[in-house]
Structure 1
Amino acid sequence: MSERTETRRSVLKATGVALGAAALPSVASASTNESGWTDVESPVGGTLYDIEQTTAGAYAVGDAGVVLERTEKGWKKVLDGGPTGNGNNLYGADVTDDGKRLWFVGSSGSIGEYDVTTGNLNDHSAPMDVTSNFNDVAVTGEAGEANVYVAGDSGKMYYSFENGATQTWDYVTPGSGSAINAVDFYDDRKGHIVDGNKSVFHTQDGSTWDKIGLADANVNFYGVDSDGADDVWVSGGGGMVFHWNGTSWVPADTGDAGLRDIEVENGEGLTVGGGGNVYDRESGEWKPDTTPTGQNLKAVLRKSDPEIAVGAGGTIIEH
């Protein structure tokens, strides 16, 4: 486990959120199956693209700029329309290391910073006058002092080392210009990205990127979990998962579903994707979980109690 991951999880545990049984919704669930996944009532019908854990609980983002919060009485909408109020879709989210600020990005250059302790929203949209789509975001550091990394659909990585303040943004094109689909960091300025050209890149300074794979993958890459320079997990099309152990890429084939997100820690993890598919990694093997939904799942939150996955049609399932 990386130092940054350990620090963030310790903060969330200290607040009583990550393991908070009191946060369980009282809303009746639609169905439960033998794997323990429950279909939970959702306040929206649009796609939910990402989910994160904060000191105030779990938050999900999605279509039309919606932001949902998980409360004791179930999921509720806390923001509609995104950071600009224009209803731009939100595709990616991340949280500061102290769990107090939720950052999210999306279409038309949308970037928002939401304070989960006060409800205040800061709009950082269109940095450098860029209004292309942003697919994902990673933030490191504490609230108000974050390094912000934004994955662009045009193949550019945008970054600010001063909490997204105007005039502090810069960008770099790590690869061929293919869309950058996912980004994750394991330290303040160290992390990984995957792009639409079947490539994985690593940075050690937050601004320059080196390609570390992946030859002959033959599938698109959708998700990345960056836990260290020698511990990287990538999920992709055709049910494929790849693990970089510092020496080689180790593939695993789970089936046919495109896997959109992945979270692994100390060798155990979850990956989710098309058709409601969830795969659980234990004892070195990926095994399927049955779920109560056939909707395409877009993101999974593993470092929480309960574990949560979200996706198309406003789907929320919990375990």
Structure 2
Amino acid sequence: MSDQRPTLTRRTALRTLAAGVVAGTAATGVTAAEEAGWTGAETPTGNTLHGVVRTVDGVYAVGGGGVVIRRTDAGWEKVLDGGPTGNGNSLYGAGVTDDRERLWFVGSSGAIGEYDVTTDGLMDHSAPNDVTNNFNDVAVRGPAGEANVYVAGDSGKIYSSFENGETGTWDAVTPGSGSNVNALDFFDDRAGHAVDGNKTVFETADGGVYERTGIADANVNFYGVDSDGVDDVWVCGGGATVFRWNGSGWRTTDLGDASLRDIEVADAGDTGLAVGGGGAVFEFDGHEWRQRDTPTGQNLKAVVRGEPDVAVGAGGTVIER
């Protein structure tokens, strides 16, 4: 049985055109009529938002100071302040169970939280095995209460629990040189990919052993990964660069200058979004990446596709489409 710390609730917690088609390296202009209509949204925080996911209760975003906010019909509202421990540790990544009923988030000083969006219950899994390093990202597979949880560590380790983060069930592995693991994503219960600060992509088939799978001569740091299958992986990084693995080789697309921090592409590969510095948003149509006009110059940190598409970033920025 887990010795999860006391449950909080939302009610007891603080509730208080320069665009272009890119086919390889160059961009050409498009008209305003072609723009997809990104608009800014008011939010109850000025803290940087680092992660965003879609749940059965709508879109949630997490960020600096441990803030968690939720999109409602009336706008964005604050759900939590202070993170899973209440100590104000910043949150750098978010994930969601397969049934989208549990929101997981990770951050500084070993912060790990599990939030039940159907009951407003918060469970604290922080400092697994007494580890208090910064955590950069989290991936979750399986249903609420029975999930496999994977956490990307700033110390170069990947932490995993196959028993929903219960105390004593965490293992750790260093897949590479010890460089910070910036992002990870899983397409199956124990199969997925991770990227680190040493320009390396790792793959795993069992959630415990990781093998290097690229990328040679990348020359940019990697910040985001979308793992849709053994032969379908997308990576984004510095220099507005997008990499795609098709099972036999990596294809590189240079989108300009912005440092891209997150990428999400549909499993079918027919649409996708990547976001990054200076309010940059790029959209994939199955063939080409097109830069979209946005109402912000703030650095964007994360994006989630859906209805609506939502991107989040510095200064509490949220843009929607």
Do the structures match in fold with TM over 0.5? yes
- Name the residue aligned to 2:272: 269
> What residue number does 2:87 align with?
86
- Within the alignment, does 1:316 sit opposite 2:305 as a pair? no
Match status 1:166 vs 2:171: no
In 2: Cα distance, 1:52 partner to 1:305 partner: 12
**Within 5 Å, which residues of 2 pair with 1:91-130?**
91-130=92-131
Q: Distance in 2 between matches of 1:168 and 1:136?
A: 19
Partner of 1:186: 187
Match of 2:14 in 1: none
Q: State the alpha-carbon separation in 2 of the partners of residues 88 and 283 from structure 1.
A: 39
Amino acid at match of 2:139: A
The percentage of aligned residue pairs carrying the same residue is: 69
Write the letter of the residue equivalent to 2:310.
Answer: I
Secondary structure of the residue aligned to 1:76 is strand
* 1:167-188 residue CA offsets vs partner (Å, 9 max, x unmatched): 1011000000000000100000
Q: In the alignment, does 2:299 pair up with 1:296? A: yes
Q: How does 1:135-214 map to 2 (within 5 A)?
A: 135-214=136-215
Counterpart of 1:270 in 2: which secondary structure?
Answer: strand
Q: How many residues align?
A: 286
2:85 and 2:208 map into 1 onto residues whose CA distance is 27
- Find the residue that maps to 1:46 and give its secondary structure: coil
1:154 partner amino acid: S
Question: Equivalent residue for 2:256?
Answer: 255
Normalised by the length of structure 1, the TM-score is 0.89
Aligned position for 2:21: none
Counterpart residue number, 1:76: 77
Match of 2:311, SS state, is: strand
Give the C-alpha shift of residue 35 in structure 1.
3.2
Secondary structure of 1:187 counterpart: coil
Counterpart in the other structure of 1:24 = none
Contact 1:35 1:291 in 2 (8 A): no
**Correspondence for 1:9:** none
Shift of the alpha carbon at 1:34?
Answer: 4.4
The alignment's TM-score, normalised by the length of structure 2, stands at 0.88
Q: Which amino acid aligns with 1:241?
A: V
Distance 2:225 2:186 in 1: 10
RMSD of the TM alignment (CA)? 0.8
Contact in 2 for aligned 1:301/1:307 (Cα 8 Å): yes
Q: Unaligned 5+ residue runs, structure 2?
A: 1-33
- Give the corresponding residue for 1:3: none
Secondary structure of the corresponding residue to residue 243 of structure 2: strand
Equivalent residue number for residue 280 of structure 1:
283
- Look up the SS of the partner of 1:238 in the other structure: helix
Residues 209 and 283 (structure 1 numbering): CA distance in 2 closer, same or farther, change over 3 Å?
closer
User: Are residues 34 and 230 of structure 1, via their aligned partners in 2, closer, same or farther at CA, if it must alter by over 3 Å?
Assistant: closer
- Post-superposition, which runs of at least 4 consecutive aligned residues in structure 1 deviate over 2 A? none
| Residue 99 of structure 1: how far off its partner (Å) | 0.6
Q: Give the letter for the 1:39 counterpart.
A: G
Instruction: Give 1:138 shift.
Output: 0.4
Instruction: State the alpha-carbon separation in 2 of the partners of residues 283 and 173 from structure 1.
Output: 35
Task: For residue 283 of structure 1, report the CA deviation from its aligned partner.
Answer: 4.0
